[in-house]
Amino acid sequence: MENTDHDKKSVYIAATLYALITGLSFLFTKIALLTAGPLDILAHRFTTAFVSILILVLFGLVKIDYDAEKIKKMLLLALLYPMAFFAFQTFGLQYATSLEAGILSASSPIITLLLATVLLNEQTNLLQKISIVASVSGVIYITLMKSSSFEISGIKGITLLLLSALSISGYHVMARMLARNFSKIELSFIMSLSGFLFFNVIAISKHLINGDIDTFLLPLRNVQFVLAMVYLGVLAFLVSSLSINYILSKIEAAKMSVFSNLGTVITIVAGVVFLKEKIFYYHIIGSVFIVGGVIGTNFLDKIGPSKSDQKNGEKPPVSDDICKHC
């Protein structure tokens, strides 16, 4: 069952909204960092996300239906994202530079492409592969140009950040596989619950060991911090996770993952508009590569049919099966 034009329009609107929300999340993270540390922010962020979706469930606005088998499969998904992704990223940033973090994070669409090809039999043509590389290159170019020097800080940080990129790529592929069996709300509920438990246990344990548990709750007195948590928890995680799960039920994982790089362009624009940051020529050049790569990955699939198309004259069966359960 192929997506209608209306479905495709809805998917790309959702993907653009996802890029917009994640792009602006860096702005709100900067605001939050003025009041609390990274681990505390993650704990409060997922508390906000979980409480929000729990309210929807308790009031019967959304329904979830779990059994032991479902929970087992979804816990593996939650292990990849948010737990592994944010944990590797947070601790990786302690041993690596922001330059290295930007480059390795940008590599996730390429990793997703490889995983989706092997595990989902998703095929892309040469122009789409070039488009993905172009998008990744745009992010790397901006990251390199923003840095005054290029230094490899250590294998530990590089490894952790690479594992973070691998985690989000694995999530994109696995979520597409599971989308046929679970609703988007069910997936998002497990993700928010696992993040809530995982990061609160770590953050609270750390404060108990240090004997400063009061500092964990202190940021909640700050109005700006609370507003930042509402954005990061409700929009940047809950709404974006629902969007991801919806998008992955409609289009290939490789197409979806490249939209994450579009968030870089949104971050640049947000920095200029809200933080009065300067925009330089390399921002524009890199943004052109990023946007061009996103467009090419998603709209050049009809030019030069992929191997799967040549054999079957249609998309791989996995896409059809998933769409039947959307």
- Residue 38 preceded by cis peptide, ω within 30: no
What is the structure's pLDDT at 202? Answer: 94
Q: Quote the CA–CA distance of 246 and 179 in Å, as a whole number.
A: 8
Where does residue 9 fall: left (phi above 0), alpha (psi -120 to 50 degrees), or beta otherwise? alpha
Q: Quote the CA–CA distance of 277 and 226 in Å, as a whole number.
A: 24
121-124's contacts with Cβ under 8 Å and 24+ in sequence apart are: 121/308, 121/316, 121/318, 122/252, 122/253, 122/254, 122/308, 122/316, 122/318, 122/319, 123/306, 123/307, 123/308, 123/309, 123/316, 124/252, 124/254, 124/297, 124/301, 124/306
**What is the domain range of residue 283?**
5-324
**Secondary structure (3-state) at 104:** helix
Average pLDDT over residues 224-248: 92
Q: Quote the CA–CA distance of 98 and 110 in Å, as a whole number.
A: 20
Q: Quote the CA–CA distance of 74 and 77 in Å, as a whole number.
A: 5
The total domain count for the chain is: 1
- Per-residue pLDDT tens over the stretch 202-219: 999 999 999 999 999 999
What percentage of the chain has pLDDT greater than the value 90? Answer: 33
Burial 14-32 (b: 16+ CB within 10 A, else e): bbebbbbbbbbbbbbbebb
Model confidence at 228, pLDDT cuts 50, 70, 90, reads very high
pLDDT above 80: residue 241: yes
Spell out where 55-188 has E strands: none
Q: 29 is written with which tokens?
A: 């993270």
What is the structure's pLDDT at 259? Answer: 87
Torsion angles phi and psi, residue 315, rounded to 5: -70, 155
- Per-residue pLDDT tens over the stretch 144-203: 887 655 555 567 877 888 898 899 999 889 888 877 777 888 888 999 999 999 999 999
Burial 139-177 (b: 16+ CB within 10 A, else e): bbbbbeeeeeeeeeeeeebbebbbbbbbbbbbbbbbbbb
The model's pTM: 0.77
What is the structure's pLDDT at 4? Answer: 66
- Per-residue pLDDT tens over the stretch 5-27: 677 889 999 999 998 998 888 78
- Per-residue pLDDT tens over the stretch 69-80: 878 888 888 999
